[in-house]
């Protein structure tokens, strides 16, 4: 009998769900799962039919971190490269991403959730930057993500003490976007994915990029980036569609289709003659 896949991938109405599938290990990520995650994220980045991504865990846990008990004879440099690939691929996805956290999210598992744009948890969810209890330091982007999300002092508290916090504390700190009952999390996250997938894909991608860059960008540079992004938005069918839908009192149907007029040879010649 063959082993079940370590990662499940399902698509529905433009929403892709990647489910870590090692419930017997609370979805701890072994080398095979790191590899499968990286490949799935690459495919997602190249698939324009996918307009939102949900990351979830099978069973009663989201992810208990890297499976440090799994045999791996590679040099640590190469082992860490697998983590780096996943962290970068997830952060650089041009579509909205959601972590569905039911149960524990520890170490790299918590940072995998924090690498998503939005985090949905249940009251039973627990979180821990467990690294120092294992004689290790933060990875999967935790040292970059935590200070930006909650400030340096609280980040040091969580990382140095490796405290376990509940969903209420995580929500108060700003590390969780919503806390919903466990019986409702599937329906809530499905609806959230549908809402994101129904949005204007070009505008959402640029909004995500602007916000990600904003923390490290001067105000003048942020304004310039916003102006460039808005120009691209006006060149799609989505802005006119939004105005038409508002006037017609209906929901807009966003496609991200490019509609900027193309200059033909005659127009180009005229522009050149006029010095344009």
Tokens of 84: 């780096």
Residues 109 and 148 in one domain: yes
Residues 63 and 176 in one domain: yes
Answer whether residue 1 is part of any domain. Answer: no
Instruction: Specify whether the CB–CB gap between 229 and 210 falls below 8 A.
Output: yes
Tens digit of each residue's pLDDT (9 = 90 or more) over 15-32: 999 999 999 999 999 999
3-state secondary structure 2-17: CCCCCEEEEEECCEEE
| Domain stop point among 197, 231, 263 | 197
Instruction: Specify whether the CB–CB gap between 241 and 199 falls below 8 A.
Output: no
Helices (H), 61-184: 76-91, 108-114, 142-150, 152-161, 167-173
* pLDDT at residue 262 in the model: 61
Domain that holds residue 261: 201-273
Instruction: Specify whether the CB–CB gap between 97 and 87 falls below 8 A.
Output: no
DSSP state string for 90-118? HHT-SS-EEEEE-SEEETHHHHHHHTSSE
Residues 23 and 99 in one domain: yes
Could you tell me the pLDDT band of residue 261, with boundaries at 50, 70 and 90? low
* pLDDT at residue 1 in the model: 60
* pLDDT at residue 135 in the model: 92
For the segment 175-201, the average pLDDT, to the nearest whole number, is: 98
DSSP 64: -
Could you tell me the pLDDT band of residue 203, with boundaries at 50, 70 and 90? very high
Answer whether residue 126 is part of any domain. Answer: yes
Share of the chain above pLDDT 70, in %: 93
Residue whose C-alpha is closest to residue 10's, from 48, 45, 42, 55? 55
| Domain stop point among 138, 162, 197 | 197
| Domain stop point among 157, 175, 197 | 197
pTM comes to 0.89
Q: How far apart are CA 276 and CA 3, in angstroms?
A: 64
Answer whether residue 208 is part of any domain. Answer: yes
- Work out how many domains the chain is built from and give that number: 2
The residue ranges of DSSP E strands in 122-272, in sequence order, are: 126-128, 164-166, 178-179
Tens digit of each residue's pLDDT (9 = 90 or more) over 126-160: 999 999 999 999 999 999 999 999 999 999 999 99
- The total of other beta-carbon atoms located within 10 Å of residue 233's CB is 16
Is 274's pLDDT higher than 50? no
Answer whether residue 59 is part of any domain. Answer: yes
Q: Is 218 helix (H, G, I), strand (E, B) or coil?
A: coil
For the segment 195-204, the average pLDDT, to the nearest whole number, is: 97
Crossing angle of helices 76-91 and 31-46, rounded to 10°: 30
The mean predicted confidence, pLDDT, of the chain is 91
Residues 61 and 185 in one domain: yes
Q: Which CATH number do you get for residue 12?
A: 3.90.226.10
* pLDDT at residue 62 in the model: 98
Tens digit of each residue's pLDDT (9 = 90 or more) over 69-124: 777 777 778 888 999 999 999 999 999 999 999 999 999 999 999 999 999 999 99
Instruction: Specify whether the CB–CB gap between 64 and 128 falls below 8 A.
Output: no
Q: Which CATH number do you get for residue 252?
A: 1.10.12.10
């Amino acid at each position: 009998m063959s082993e079940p896949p370590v990662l499940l991938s399902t698509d529905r109405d433009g929403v892709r769900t990647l489910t870590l599938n090692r419930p017997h290990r609370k979805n701890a990520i072994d080398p095979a799962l790191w590899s499968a995650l990286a490949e799935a994220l690459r495919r997602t980045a190249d698939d324009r039919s996918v307009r939102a991504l949900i990351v979830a865990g099978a069973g009663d846990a989201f992810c208990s971190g890297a499976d440090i008990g799994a045999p791996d004879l590679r040099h640590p440099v190469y082992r860490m490269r697998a983590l780096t690939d996943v962290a970068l691929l997830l952060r650089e996805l041009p579509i909205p991403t959601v972590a569905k956290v039911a149960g524990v999210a520890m170490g790299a598992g918590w940072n995998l959730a924090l690498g998503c744009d939005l985090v949905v948890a249940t009251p039973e969810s627990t979180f821990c930057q467990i690294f120092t209890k294992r004689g290790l330091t933060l990875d999967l982007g935790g040292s970059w993500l935590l200070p930006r999300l909650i400030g340096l002092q609280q980040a040091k508290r969580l990382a140095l003490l490796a405290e376990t916090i509940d969903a209420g504390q995580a929500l108060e700190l700003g590390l969780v976007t919503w806390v919903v009952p466990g019986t409702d999390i599937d329906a809530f996250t499905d609806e959230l994915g549908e809402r994101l997938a129904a949005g204007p894909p070009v505008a959402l991608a640029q909004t995500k990029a602007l916000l990600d860059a904003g923390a490290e960008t001067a105000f003048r540079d942020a304004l310039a980036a916003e102006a460039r992004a808005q120009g691209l938005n006006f060149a799609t069918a989505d802005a006119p569609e939004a105005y038409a839908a508002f006037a017609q009192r209906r929901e807009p149907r966003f496609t991200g289709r490019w509609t900027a007029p193309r200059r033909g040879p005659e127009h180009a010649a005229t522009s050149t003659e006029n010095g344009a």
